[in-house]
């Protein structure tokens, strides 16, 4: 498992605009080999994190070189919404604990 995250700091008062841009953009992740899931996380005081999970680093790297990646990242501008450039973090999962259902 591999996780890629971008940490965004949004200008004060621009959270609604940031969220709208993400809601309205087309996602080109469905059907991408190795893609597991995507989440957009909202923290405190203008912090947001895009969180994508992949079967492997190789699957993520292949996506970053794909047409789907180029189309997805060519949409809209966050100019004036962000307080600075996003900060990327990439992580290999060392342990994964799936949810379990309660015993009946």
For position 20, which CATH number holds?
Answer: 3.30.70.100
Torsion-angle region of residue 29: left (phi > 0), alpha (psi -120 to 50) or beta? alpha
**Domain containing residue 57:** 2-92
Does 87 reside within a domain? Answer: yes
- Which strands sit side by side in the sheet containing 47-54, from one edge to the other? 35-42, 47-54, 2-9, 87-92
- The residue-averaged pLDDT of 94-99 equals 90
Residues 2-58 pLDDT 10s: 999 999 999 999 999 999 999 988 888 888 999 999 999 999 989 999 999 999 999
Does 13 reside within a domain? Answer: yes
Backbone angles phi and psi of 49, in degrees to 5: -135, 125
pLDDT band at residue 76 using 50, 70 and 90 as cut-offs: low
């Amino acid at each position: 498992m591999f996780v890629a995250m971008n940490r965004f700091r949004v200008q004060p008062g621009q959270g609604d605009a940031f969220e709208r841009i993400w809601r309205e953009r087309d996602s080109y992740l469905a059907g991408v080999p190795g893609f597991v899931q995507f989440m957009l996380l909202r923290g405190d005081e203008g912090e947001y994190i895009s969180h994508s999970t992949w079967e492997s680093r190789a699957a993520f790297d292949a996506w970053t070189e794909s047409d789907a990646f180029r189309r997805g990242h060519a949409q809209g501008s966050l100019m004036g919404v962000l307080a600075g450039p996003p900060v990327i973090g990439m992580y290999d999962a060392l342990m994964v604990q799936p949810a379990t259902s309660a015993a009946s």
